[in-house]
A and B are shown apart, each in its own frame.
Chain A
């Protein structure tokens, strides 16, 4: 079979995920050819290993310089094991793509990720739990759990997270989300590890003061980690998310303290950015769209619709839509909304994907 050819190091994970879901071989070329260190980074190799572990019969060939990868996907089988994440990326980098595969596996996914649990680049654990799992629920994947066993701030990490996906379904359900849900409350989790517990309170106070003008109920929990479970480095972070009455979906934003940043900086920044995110969202935040779009494509052969905000259409989403077309041949169609200003209905027909490993009853 002639592999699908992609170029560049962008969207590395999602391209391999699309390839695994479709069962089509992929060849990714020109991975950082002009870089001082050409080719794959250590975390990308680690991700390839993880893919190899959750599938059966995959073959991965990496060229001598590491600038080309040929991936022939096998069946998604899941299983339980431990994955050690390299210190260059947080666990979120590895957990997120697993959410695309786990529900369509032969066996349940039960993976323990070890390493750094939060970073500036990757989704915080609380974001995955409160931002992404509800999206899965909406698509019919109900029993997903993410347990934080140990926190691990950069640079030394030492964290541990358990991802457990209990529902195995043959395909995601077709969704029609045509309304933008109203927010009934804002919630959040302020965590700190190996620092004074007052840091968590400072995060809460500063976020609350920023959110006050919105006139919404704000309820932020503090999560203080001590002793061995707090990891090897000190750190703190804040995840804010909204709550709505009739839908499990939530808008969510997260950030963590970087060098030289005070808890007040983080609290304010996350607070303001949550307001910004609510304003610029359709039924989902920008950070949840990728997952929803992919689930829509691998759904039943029926047309699914979700409402998106025009401002969410950016270069990365366009590249994703092109990649989806390349792999599955499915095009999205965007239609202007009459009801909501500045919004579009994203519609796509599912490809009728079916979980190949699921036993026929």
Chain B
């Protein structure tokens, strides 16, 4: 039985309503689960998840104004996105499937 990997399966529908788990924590647990399914991205994304956690904790312990109530999307700095959305990048060609082809431009 040694080769059997025991893995906790998280169902998002249950996680959402488990009040004993912090909302941020619930999401990161679920996302980690998702990542294990798509193994190749696992490591990178897990790191990301942790970073997200730290980021949020810092926010909480700091000035309470940081947790300011707003449903505005947090804009990422241009430098972070410049490469991702440059001409001919993978993300752009993927995104093009979301557009109608237009004659202009």
Contacts and interface: CB of A to CB of B under 8 A. Distances in A.
B105 A183 contact: no
Given A93-B69, A185-B102, 13 more contacts: A12-B69, A14-B69, A32-B64, A122-B72, A182-B98, A265-B78, A269-B75, A269-B76, A272-B81, A272-B82, A315-B22, A315-B26, A322-B16
B67 A122 contact: no
30 contacts: A9-B64, A10-B69, A11-B69, A13-B69, A122-B72, A180-B98, A182-B99, A183-B99, A212-B87, A212-B105, A213-B86, A213-B87, A213-B89, A214-B99, A215-B101, A216-B102, A217-B105, A255-B75, A265-B78, A269-B77, A272-B85, A275-B85, A279-B95, A279-B98, A286-B73, A315-B23, A316-B71, A319-B23, A322-B16, A332-B13
A213 B92 contact: yes
Nearest to B24: A315
B76 A273 contact: yes
B102 to A, nearest CB: 5
B85 A121 contact: no
Contact of B81 (A276, A278, A344): A276
B56 interface: yes
Contact of A334 (B12, B76, B95, B100): B12
A253 B78 CA distance: 14
A333 interface: yes
Interface in A314-348: 314-316, 318-319, 321-322, 325, 331-334, 344
**Max chain A C-beta neighbours (<10 A), residue from B68, B71, B100:** B71
Contacts of A322: 16-17, 19, 23
Interface residues of A, number: 61
Given A315-B24, A318-B26, A287 B81 contact: no
Nearest to A287: B73
Interface of A: 9-14, 32, 35, 93, 96, 121-123, 127, 180, 182-185, 210, 212-218, 245, 253-255, 265, 268-270, 272-273, 275-279, 285-287, 290, 310, 313-316, 318-319, 321-322, 325, 331-334, 344
A182 B98 CA distance: 5
Nearest to B61: A34
**Max chain B C-beta neighbours (<10 A), residue from A122, A212, A277:** A122
A181 B30 CA distance: 27
A318 B96 contact: no
**Max chain B C-beta neighbours (<10 A), residue from A213, A272, A318:** A318
Contacts of A96: 71
A316 B36 CA distance: 24
Contacts of B96: 214-215
A321 B102 contact: no
A93 B71 CA distance: 9
Nearest to A279: B95
A217 B72 contact: no
A253 B102 contact: no
Contact of B23 (A268, A273, A290, A318): A318
Contacts of A214: 92, 95-96, 99
B99 A215 contact: yes
Contacts of A279: 91, 94-95, 98
Contacts of B92: 213-214, 275
B51 interface: no
Contacts of A278: 95, 98
B6 to A, nearest CB: 23
A123 B22 CA distance: 27
